[in-house]
């Protein structure tokens, strides 16, 4: 065989990335598994490989939405760990920390963190539009059962696309509210954030188109 002929031989194919449909199915299985698991130790073991996978996610994707996610995790932990039954670990006035409350708080926070980490990994290598189209292909047959899958996927797609705008808007409102009200202390900041963050998320789910209009108007003003 001549060197020229061997030079024209096609290179071996590199490993192809998983199809969006396969990623979505794997994530659904992952979510179902998380809700079937009842042991905190299993969550801790799952945390190790997920953290290793997160190291491969671009920093820009990781930091997106860190403010509302961090506050939500902190609020979840505090709301579940205080004033629960069990052996008292710490007590100060009306505030009481028990072993059961600590276990429940860690369990809930880890579950939410694993769900968020999974979606970060899912969306890291795919465009939002590709995932939305894949969901349409996966769940489209349910339209035959008169389930409004297309409407749901359309609304969810707009919501996913408005998350970056939602995060920027939440950060701006947070800085303005804290500065104007001169909020001090961790719990006071959580109360301030919850006063506008929950209505903001609710509005994004009900009318996500509004955020694109606001974002375009904000961009023109800038």
- pLDDT one-digit tens code per residue, 146-185: 777 777 777 666 666 666 666 666 667 666 766 666 666 6
| Highest mean pLDDT (candidates 96-100, 101-105, 122-126, 196-200) | 101-105
For the cut 60, the answer to whether the pLDDT of residue 132 exceeds it is: yes
**If you average pLDDT over residues 197-215, what whole number do you get?**
57
Nearest to 24 by CA among 102, 103, 107, 140: 140
Asked if the structure places residue 209 within a domain, the reply is yes
Which segment of 45-59, 113-127, 168-182 scores lowest on mean pLDDT?
168-182
For the cut 60, the answer to whether the pLDDT of residue 80 exceeds it is: yes
Asked if the structure places residue 59 within a domain, the reply is no
Residue 46 pLDDT: 92
pLDDT band per the 50, 70, 90 thresholds, residue 128? confident
Asked if the structure places residue 164 within a domain, the reply is yes
Tokens 């199915």 belong to: 25
In contact, 76 and 63? CB cutoff 8 Å: no
Residue 200 pLDDT: 63
Residue 121 pLDDT: 84
For the cut 50, the answer to whether the pLDDT of residue 216 exceeds it is: no
Which segment of 6-20, 38-52, 99-113 scores lowest on mean pLDDT?
6-20
Residue 170 pLDDT: 67
C-alpha pair distances (Å), 24 with each of 19, 41, 45, 130: 9, 26, 22, 11
DSSP codes joined into one string, 90-149: EEETTEEEEHHHHHHHHHHHHHHHHHHHHHHHHHHSS-HHHHHHHHHHHHGGGGGGT--H
Asked if the structure places residue 73 within a domain, the reply is no
Asked if the structure places residue 219 within a domain, the reply is yes
For the cut 80, the answer to whether the pLDDT of residue 39 exceeds it is: yes
**pTM exceeding 0.85:** no
pLDDT band per the 50, 70, 90 thresholds, residue 28? confident
Asked if the structure places residue 210 within a domain, the reply is yes
Asked if the structure places residue 56 within a domain, the reply is no
For the cut 80, the answer to whether the pLDDT of residue 56 exceeds it is: yes
Query: Which domain does 147 fall in, by range?
Result: 142-222
pLDDT band per the 50, 70, 90 thresholds, residue 42? very high
The number of distinct structural domains making up the chain is: 1
Q: Which residue has the higher pLDDT, 21 or 35?
A: 35
């Amino acid at each position: 065989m001549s060197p020229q002929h061997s030079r024209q031989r096609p290179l071996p194919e590199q490993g192809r990335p998983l199809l969006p449909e396969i990623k979505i199915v794997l994530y659904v299985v992952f979510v179902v598994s998380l809700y079937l698991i009842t042991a905190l130790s299993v969550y801790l073991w799952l945390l190790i490989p997920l953290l290793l996978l997160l190291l491969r996610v671009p920093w820009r994707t990781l930091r997106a939405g860190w403010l509302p996610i961090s506050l939500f995790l902190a609020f979840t932990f505090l709301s579940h760990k205080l004033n629960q039954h069990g052996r008292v670990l710490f007590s100060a006035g009306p505030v009481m920390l028990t072993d059961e409350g600590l276990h429940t708080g860690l369990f809930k926070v880890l579950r939410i963190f694993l769900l968020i980490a999974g979606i970060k990994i899912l969306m890291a290598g795919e465009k939002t539009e590709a995932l939305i189209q894949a969901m349409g292909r996966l769940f489209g047959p349910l339209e035959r059962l008169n389930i409004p899958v297309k409407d749901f996927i359309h609304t969810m797609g707009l919501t996913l696309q408005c998350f970056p705008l939602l995060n920027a808007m939440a950060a701006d409102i947070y800085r303005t509210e804290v500065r104007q009200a001169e909020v001090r202390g961790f719990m006071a900041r959580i109360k301030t954030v919850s006063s506008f963050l929950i209505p903001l998320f609710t509005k994004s789910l009900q009318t996500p188109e509004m955020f694109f209009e606001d974002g375009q108007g904000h961009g023109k003003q800038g």
